[in-house]
Amino acid sequence: MSLTCQVRISLNNLTKETAQAVKKALDPDNVNFPKGLSLNVENIDNKVVFNFENENSMKKLIGTIDEILAHVQVSLKVIG
């Protein structure tokens, strides 16, 4: 049996410029994901939306989410 999990995380109440800067800062990290794991990052108005999808390994998904959110935190500190 194959298990697929989708997680959507939204960072709200950012300025449009900050939202775009966060997305740009993460673009280099959004490559070479392991098989079955994907991330789509969108700017929607004043927020950044992260759409994660993973097949099978929840541990990989949780680790990736943790890593991306750590990068977001660093980029927000640098931007702000």
- The predicted structure's pLDDT at residue 29: 67
**pLDDT above 80: residue 2:** no
CB 72 within 8 A of CB 49: no
Select the more confidently predicted residue: 1 or 28.
28
Q: Which of 9, 67, 76 is nearest to 41 (CA)?
A: 9
Q: What is the CATH number of domain 4-79?
A: 3.30.310.50
Cβ-proximal residues to 71 (8 Å cutoff; 6+ apart), any chain: 25, 26, 29
Please report, for the chain, the start and end positions of each structural domain, with discontinuous segments joined by +. 4-79
Q: Give SS3 for 50.
A: strand
Task: Indicate the pTM of the whole model.
Answer: 0.85
Q: Could you report the per-residue pLDDT of 20-75, keeping only the tens digit for each?
A: 999 888 887 677 777 889 999 999 988 999 999 999 888 889 999 999 999 999 99
In the chain, count H helices and then E strands: 2, 3
Task: Determine the pLDDT at residue 46.
Answer: 87
DSSP 36: T
pLDDT at 3: 84
